[in-house]
Each structure stands twice: as C-alpha cells, then as structure tokens.
C-alpha cells in the first residue's frame, strides 16, 4: 500500500504526476511557533513532541548543561531531575530506548506526568529555584523537531539543512532533451568507484543497464527513488527495481509516514567525479528523449560531485529510506504506458569551462538563492516551467519586480492537456491587470510541436547565469520536497539555454491555439499571452493554484 507523508494534502494536487486540485494547506513552520530565552549555563536545545509512533513513543526534550548544579526540566505538570553534578547534553524522555534513532544525547527517564503535548506546551529549565530557559510551542508538527539556533525552528526529523556549495572553473556540458538522449547515459557509463543515482521515477532501461554493468565491474552503486509517486508506482518501475536489487545494486525507497520530504523529486547522478543534474525523470519520456523538453548539465568537478554525494548520503541513511526488498510487498503498483515519441536534434550539446557552479537544494536553500539571483538580474530573465503555483508565488513576484525595473522577462509554460487551462487562466489574469504596456513581461503557453511533446524543463536564464534542476515554481516543491538544482554562471552556457528557449518560444504547434491578446486574433501553434504589469502588488489574489509536473 502507498504510504502517506507528513502533511501530504488530501484531494487533488498536481505534484510530479498529474493535474490535481487541492484546498490550500498551511506550512508546518507557519502553523507553529516557539519562543526561547536562554542563558549561557544551560538551555533547552531540541524538542520532538510528535513522532509518528504509537502513543508518541520516542518523544523527548533535549537540554545542554554547561555548569553542574541542581537542574530540573518541567512542563508545568511533571518534573525531570537532570543528572546532578554533570554537564553535557541530556534528553528527558519516557521511552529512552526509542530516542537513539533521533539523538545521541544521554537519556534521562522522565516518569510521572511529564509528557510533551502535541497541542502545545511550555517547558522551563531551572537551576534550583531560578528559571534559566523557557520554550513554548503550539501545535507541534508531525515528525518534526524543534531546534534552538536555526531557522525555521521546526524541521523534519532526520533533516540537516545544507548551505549552497560553489566551485569555480569546472568543465561542463550543457544539453537538452529530447534532442540528446545519449547525454545523461554517457555521463554515467564510465564510473570506476562510485555511481549514485537519485530519482523520482526510474524506468529508462538504458540507465538500468549502465547501473548493473557498473555493479558487475565492482563499482559502489546505489539508487534512491520516490516510493509513492503521484498516481502510484508503475509496474514497470517495480520490475526495474527488482532487477537492480537482484543484481546487487543498493536500491533505497523514500517512503513511510515519517518521510522527511513530501516527495523525493530530484534527478541527478554522481559517477566518480562527474555529476549530472537534470530537469527530467529517468524514464523514456524524459532521459529517453521520447517526449519532454528538458534541460541537463554534466559537470566534471570533484566539488560538485562530492556535494551531490553528500546530499545522497544524507537522504539514504535515515529510517525513511529502507531497502527496496523490505518494502516491496507493501507498495501497490499501477499500469502505465511509456512514451514513444521521436524528435530531431535541433540543439547539440555544448562544452565549455564554466566560471562558477553552485549546487542548490530544497528545502534547504534553493528558493531563497533563486530569489536573490532574480533580484540581481539587470537585463534579461527567461523562465521555463511546466506551470506556476499561483499568482503570489515568491519566485513569480521576484520575476514581476524584475520586469517593473526594466528587465526583459519571458515566461514559457506548458500547454499540455493537464496544465493548459490553469496556465492560460494564470496568464489571462495577469493580462487583465495590465496598467502599463511599457513593462516588459511576456508569457506564452506552448503546445506540442515538432521540437518536443510538452514543456517539462524547470530552469531560468538570468543574464549570464543558467539554473537547471527539479524545482517547480510552487510552495510544495520549494518547501516540502527534496529538490536539487545547479546554477551555472558562464556566458557560453547561458547563451546555449537562451538559444533553446528562444527556439521553443517561437515554435508553432500542430494542434492550433488561440490568443488572449486584446486584439482577439487567433494565431495557431501557441497559446500566446502578452502581459504587462505595473507592480508586483497587482498579482495578489485569493485564488489558489498549484502546479508541478507530470
């Protein structure tokens, strides 16, 4: 059976699979608050009030004691006596045998009425009769820990945020799909020591064969996939995972109620000191070149490869990524047909030495880093997305601000059947708020054409920087999913994706289209929306839209 995730919305939602509609949800960090006042001698450092276990077994409150003394911790109903005459880190818990998976602090058994309430609590750390530290919280999020000294304070248990990692002067190859389906396979086919592949879905048999061949020649091979993709795991993917596991590949599946991310959604691989980052899934429609417009980048860089390997290790070494064999019988599968399209190569790969590469990850740092890059764009911003979450989404607001200050902004969205209506509605809503035709913001909704089947790429070109990765422009992707992207500052790479974008922008389609321009003209091939806005505040609206990818 497909396991549920923390705060996975009920109802319809377009997240990495199909068009779904949902009632808006409040992010857990926004729904909870915690306040602390601390002193140097002792502090409350960590809380875990709401684990996904029977009777909340494993809940704890952690403290750090710098000076020995008569220390106690109380929730107002029960009191825990901390070790007298000792310093260090301690956790007050009713179930010390259950806390080792979450913290290595010394357990102190809490008896009596000491218990962390999910609905809210006030804890006080005392030294004798003096209160040294106080923390209060409301509505503890499920399977999340509160920690002092980090923002946001509440984060999924087992999740350690990373800062962006930047390297200089790296050899890179930029490519696009469906033009170059050989590129992602060639990036991993010569691994000698390590080959790690992170995926939302994996069904491209060419990739599977490379993984098995690497394992056969003694390479350390590991795979991590999403265990509950929208719509269910396909029978083809389950068969592929069976094949990999039988060949000795370490296959991990992110699944379960305590999963740190709503969806494991990145598309990257590490082959020795080579890294490949994609917007596309490892399946025929994506890396197989049979359907989607996607962007990809290969980097010959030990620094980039090591950072992605670090993310992979972080994501595969906790309790929410069990071995495939252990959960195989619990996961239901569904039938699905593979894409079979064929498209010509309009854009061969281009190789160069990039000035700078920065690895970004969500929910760690990607959204804020992209906002900063857009805010610093001076001349041109190109955005390609399957869809955009809503008119008030943070990255869209940043793009509008760029247009307001004179940056040429173009946004290309998917016109495929499950996204066309909402994408067109979003663009029309912007057009209805046109107040100044001199503001250079344009949106196009692209239909299928002879260049690709549908828009699935998730990237930007901001002056001389291109960003390629799995991040969809919606709150769920940025705040709840695991996503990975790479920002490349280099004129050659930026010009390459600019050329691809311009070709896609201008391309017609076979199915006809319509115009939302004031003139009412009916061009074929593209649904075209030219919009101009006078300020970002014109985008504020009550309607809630969520898009991601299929």
Supply the CATH number for residue 40's domain: 2.60.40
Cα–Cα distances in Å, from 262 out to 7, 16, 481?
7, 11, 5
Q: What is the CATH number of the domain that holds 386?
A: 3.30.870.10
Mean pLDDT of 248-256: 97
Strand 380-385 with 408-414, pairing: parallel
pLDDT at position 35 is 47
| Nearest CA-CA partner of 378 in 465, 499, 505 | 465
pLDDT at position 85 is 87
Residues 212 and 89 in one domain: no
Q: Which of 318, 334, 350 is the last residue of a domain?
A: 334
Residue 102 pLDDT exceeds 90: no
Helices (H), 38-96: none
Q: Which of 103, 121, 156 is the last residue of a domain?
A: 156
Residue 326 pLDDT exceeds 50: yes
Dump pLDDT digits (tens) for 371-403.
999 999 999 999 999 999 888 999 999 999 999
Dump pLDDT digits (tens) for 268-310.
999 999 999 999 999 999 999 999 999 999 999 999 999 999 9
pLDDT at position 436 is 58
What region, left, alpha or beta, does residue 248 occupy, with left being phi > 0 and alpha being psi -120 to 50 degrees?
left
Residue 238 forms part of a structural domain: yes
Residues 291 and 370 in one domain: no
Query: How many structural domains is the chain composed of?
Result: 3
Range of the domain at 186: 165-334
Residues 391 and 521 in one domain: yes
- Residue 299's contacts (CB-CB under 8 Å, 6 or more residues apart) are 170, 171, 172, 274, 275, 276, 277, 305, 354, 357, 486
Percent of the chain whose pLDDT exceeds 70: 83
Dihedral Cα 102, 108, 114, 120, nearest 10 deg: -30
pLDDT at position 257 is 81
Residues 233 and 313 in one domain: yes
Looking at per-residue pLDDT, the higher value among 149 and 48 belongs to: 48
Residue 521 pLDDT exceeds 70: no
Looking at per-residue pLDDT, the higher value among 114 and 390 belongs to: 114
pLDDT at position 435 is 52
Residues 328 and 416 in one domain: no
Token pair recorded at residue 92:
């007050």
Looking at per-residue pLDDT, the higher value among 544 and 94 belongs to: 94
Dump pLDDT digits (tens) for 2-43.
344 543 333 333 333 433 333 333 333 333 444 444 456 999
Task: Tell me the pLDDT band of 53, cut-offs 50, 70 and 90.
Answer: confident
Residues 320 and 408 in one domain: no
Residue 539 pLDDT exceeds 80: no
Residues 49 and 128 in one domain: yes
Residues 234 and 87 in one domain: no
Mean pLDDT of 478-493: 97
pLDDT at position 339 is 93
Residue 239 forms part of a structural domain: yes
Residue 180 forms part of a structural domain: yes
Task: Tell me the pLDDT band of 241, cut-offs 50, 70 and 90.
Answer: very high
Residue 19 forms part of a structural domain: no
Residue 369 forms part of a structural domain: yes
Residue 334 pLDDT exceeds 90: yes
Mean pLDDT (the chain, rounded): 86
pLDDT at position 427 is 83
Residue 1 forms part of a structural domain: no
The C-alpha atoms of residue 201 and residue 187 are separated, in whole angstroms, by 18
Helices (H), 317-468: 324-327, 366-375, 394-404, 420-431
Residue 538 pLDDT exceeds 90: no
Residue 541 pLDDT exceeds 50: no
Dump pLDDT digits (tens) for 404-424.
999 999 999 999 998 999 999
Residues 176 and 138 in one domain: no
| Nearest CA-CA partner of 444 in 536, 532, 526 | 526
Residues 292 and 415 in one domain: no
pLDDT at position 52 is 79
pLDDT at position 428 is 81
- Residue 508, H or E segment: none
Residue 181 forms part of a structural domain: yes
Residue 91 pLDDT exceeds 50: yes
- Residue 500, H or E segment: helix 491-506
Task: Tell me the pLDDT band of 56, cut-offs 50, 70 and 90.
Answer: confident
Mean pLDDT of 222-238: 97
Q: Which of 128, 156, 184 is the last residue of a domain?
A: 156
Give the orientation angle of helix 394-404 with respect to helix 366-375, to 10 degrees: 10
Residues 275 and 299 in one domain: yes
pLDDT at position 438 is 77
Task: Tell me the pLDDT band of 101, cut-offs 50, 70 and 90.
Answer: confident
Residues 115 and 258 in one domain: no
Dump pLDDT digits (tens) for 425-478.
988 877 665 455 678 899 999 988 999 999 999 999 999 999 999 999 999 999
Residue 529 forms part of a structural domain: yes
pLDDT at position 432 is 62
Count other C-beta atoms under 10 Å from residue 85's C-beta: 8
Mean pLDDT of 466-492: 97
């Amino acid at each position: 059976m497909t396991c549920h995730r923390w705060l996975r919305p009920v109802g319809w939602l377009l997240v990495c699979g199909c068009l779904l509609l949902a009632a808006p949800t409040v992010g857990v960090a926004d729904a909870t608050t915690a306040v602390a006042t601390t002193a140097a001698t002792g502090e409350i450092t960590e809380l875990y009030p709401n684990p996904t276990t029977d009777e909340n077994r494993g809940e704890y409150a952690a403290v750090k004691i710098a000076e020995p003394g008569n220390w106690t911790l109380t929730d107002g109903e029960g009191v825990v006596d901390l070790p007298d005459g000792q310093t260090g880190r301690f956790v007050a818990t009713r179930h010390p045998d259950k806390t080792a998976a979450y913290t290595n602090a010394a357990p102190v058994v809490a008896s009596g009425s000491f218990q962390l309430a999910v609905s809210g609590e006030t804890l006080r750390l005392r030294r004798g009769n003096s209160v040294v530290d106080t923390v209060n919280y409301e509505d503890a999020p499920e399977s999340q820990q509160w920690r002092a000294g980090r923002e946001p304070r509440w984060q999924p248990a087992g999740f350690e945020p990373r800062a962006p990692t930047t390297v200089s002067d790296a050899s890179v190859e930029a490519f696009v799909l469906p033009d170059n389906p050989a590129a992602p396979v060639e990036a991993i086919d010569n691994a000698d020591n390590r080959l790690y592949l992170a995926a939302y879905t994996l069904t491209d048999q060419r990739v599977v064969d490379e993984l098995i061949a690497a394992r056969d020649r003694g390479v350390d091979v590991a795979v991590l996939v999403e265990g509950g993709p929208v719509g269910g795991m396909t029978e083809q993917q389950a068969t592929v995972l069976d094949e990999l596991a039988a060949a000795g590949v370490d296959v991990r599946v992110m699944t379960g109620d305590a999963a740190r991310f709503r969806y494991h959604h990145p598309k990257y691989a590490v082959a020795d000191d080579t890294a490949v980052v994609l917007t596309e899934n490892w399946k025929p429609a994506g890396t197989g070149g049979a359907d989607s417009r996607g962007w990809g980048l290969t980097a010959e860089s030990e620094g980039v490869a090591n950072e992605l390997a670090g993310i992979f290790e972080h994501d595969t070494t906790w309790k929410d990524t069990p071995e495939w064999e252990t959960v195989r019988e619990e996961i239901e599968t569904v039938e699905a047909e593979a894409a079979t399209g064929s498209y010509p190569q309009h854009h061969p790969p281009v190789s160069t030495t990039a000035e700078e590469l920065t690895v970004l990850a969500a929910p760690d740092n990607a959204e804020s880093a992209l906002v900063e890059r857009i805010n610093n764009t001076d001349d041109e911003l190109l955005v390609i997305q399957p869809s955009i979450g809503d008119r008030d989404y943070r990255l869209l607001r940043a793009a509008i601000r760029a247009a307001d200050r004179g940056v040429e902004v173009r946004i290309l969205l998917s016109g495929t059947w499950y996204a066309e209506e909402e994408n067109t509605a979003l663009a029309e809503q912007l057009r209805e708020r046109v107040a100044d035709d001199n503001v250079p913001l344009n949106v196009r909704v692209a239909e299928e054409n002879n260049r690709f089947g549908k828009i699935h790429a998730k990237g930007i070109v901001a002056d001389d920087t291109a960003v390629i990765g799995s991040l969809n422009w919606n709150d769920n992707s940025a705040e709840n999913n695991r996503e990975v992207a790479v920002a490349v500052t280099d004129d050659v790479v930026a010009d390459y994706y600019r050329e691809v974008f311009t070709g896609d922008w201008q391309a017609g389609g076979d199915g006809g289209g319509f115009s939302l321009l004031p003139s009412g003209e009916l061009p074929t091939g593209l649904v075209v929306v030219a919009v101009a806005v006078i300020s970002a505040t014109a985008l504020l609206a009550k309607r809630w839209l969520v898009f991601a990818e299929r």
